[in-house]
Amino acid sequence: MANRIIVTGGAGFIGSAVVRNIICNTPDEVCVIDKLTYAGNLESLAEIADDPRYRFEKADICDKEALDRIFAAFRPTHVMHLAAESHVDRSIDGPGEFIQTNVVGTYTMLEAARKYFNTLDEAGKAAFRFHHISTDEVYGDLEGPEDFFRETTPYAPSSPYSASKASSDHLVRAWKRTFGLPTLVTNCSNNYGPYHFPEKLIPLVILHALDGKELPVYGQGLQIRDWLYVEDHARALYLVATSGVPGETYNIGGHNEKKNIEVVNKICELLDELRPRTDGKSYAGQIVYVKDRPGHDMRYAIDADKIARELGWKPQESFESGIRKTVMWYLEHKDDWCAHVLSGEYKMERLGTGE
């Protein structure tokens, strides 16, 4: 029997990958809830937009009345909650929006789900799942090179963004224990891949390089991140939502620890091969080092043994294969998807309303 899945933030980077994966590879129905803020882009869902199993609701996850209406009309078997403000630099400049979306929005989603859950019969309650998608940044950073984030690692968030996500994680677990809502939490490492908004490191470097701009690197670029290809993450999220155990947490990582400067140099190397500069020089010559941001964590690394052991998931892409696919995608879509995002044109096409 097909599932009926609400995906919040489904027009965003990870959310759209989840929706495309579900529609293309399962018989399930999907209802996307997205406010369409700057990072929400319906062009990221264009390939599945005409599928009868997909529907879209423009709504704010802080809008209780809208959520109640959508839950009652769609009658989901699963909720995959991805809607969030997620850019650390933006959280430093304006933390209030992160508290509103990530904390208040998650609370509102949980209450809408609980109200709906209480209307279900026993079979419906047994099937229902609320899957909250979070980040490894809630754990803070790691000391030694042999340390890893595990599901039992204490929380120690460093930025307003990670603190807001940590708060939402705690709410989700509290609604499980106090109200019996069958919730699950996943914490992932840094994602990359197609349809990534250009403020993030990898797409920013690709597009700046092609435009002849400087490639800014914080500090000396020695911060270490575990990189997870977004389509691998989408497969893992669906597996957790449909096969995970309520009350459990699953860490999802790519097994690809890289220093930021290594990532930037790899992108330059691929661009030198795939789209050489006309002057014959390397794109690496555009790298500049800039002042580090406040509270910048030095190292993240995920221990993903639990999801591999209990659910049988492991990433299909290495960093080398995934980053090549990513660079090639941006080269192929520089003049359409990327151009529309950078110009703001995608905002003018939302739902055909010209808003």
Name which of 46, 49, 51, 55 is nearest 26 in CA terms: 51
Residue tagged 């790899």 (tokens): 266
Q: Is 271 helix (H, G, I), strand (E, B) or coil?
A: helix
Name which of 5, 42, 56 is nearest 26 in CA terms: 5
Q: What are phi and psi of 305, to 5 degrees?
A: -65, -35
H or E segment to which residue 33 belongs? strand 29-34
49 within 8 A of 42, measured Cβ to Cβ: yes
Residue 271 token pair: 């661009």
At residue 298, the pLDDT reads 87
Other C-beta atoms within 10 Å of 143: how many? 9
247 within 8 A of 184, measured Cβ to Cβ: yes
Please pick, among 60, 137, 297, 303, the residue that the annotation labels catalytic: 137
Please pick, among 107, 116, 139, 161, the residue that the annotation labels catalytic: 161
Can 300 be counted among the known catalytic residues?
Answer: no
Alpha-carbon 26 to chain mean position: 20
Q: Where are the alpha helices (DSSP H) in the chain?
A: 13-25, 64-74, 88-93, 95-98, 105-117, 122-127, 160-179, 201-210, 230-243, 260-274, 305-311, 319-332, 337-343
Q: Structure pTM? A: 0.94
Return d(Cα 115, Cα 107) in angstroms, integer. 12
258 within 8 A of 323, measured Cβ to Cβ: no
Angle at 234 between CA 11 and CA 61, to 5 degrees: 40
259 within 8 A of 221, measured Cβ to Cβ: yes
Return d(Cα 180, Cα 147) in angstroms, integer. 34
Percent of the chain with pLDDT over 90: 86
Pairing, β 257-259 against β 224-229: antiparallel
Please pick, among 28, 85, 136, 169, the residue that the annotation labels catalytic: 136
H or E segment to which residue 217 belongs? strand 215-218
Written as one letter, the residue type at 134 is S
Q: Is 47 helix (H, G, I), strand (E, B) or coil?
A: helix
Can 60 be counted among the known catalytic residues?
Answer: no
Return d(Cα 194, Cα 179) in angstroms, integer. 38
Residue 58 token pair: 């423009």
Written as one letter, the residue type at 147 is D
Can 136 be counted among the known catalytic residues?
Answer: yes
Return d(Cα 50, Cα 60) in angstroms, integer. 23
284 within 8 A of 128, measured Cβ to Cβ: no
259 within 8 A of 224, measured Cβ to Cβ: yes
At residue 289, the pLDDT reads 96
- Put the strands of the sheet holding 190-192 in their side by side order: 190-192, 224-229, 257-259
Residue-by-residue pLDDT tens, the chain, 355 positions: 899 999 999 999 999 999 999 999 999 999 999 999 888 999 999 999 999 999 999 999 999 999 999 999 999 999 999 999 977 778 888 899 999 999 999 999 999 999 999 999 999 999 999 999 999 999 998 877 778 999 999 999 999 999 999 999 999 999 999 999 999 999 999 999 999 988 889 999 999 999 999 999 999 999 999 999 999 999 999 999 999 999 999 999 998 999 999 999 999 999 999 999 999 999 999 999 999 888 788 899 999 999 999 999 999 999 999 999 999 999 999 999 999 998 876 654 433 322 2
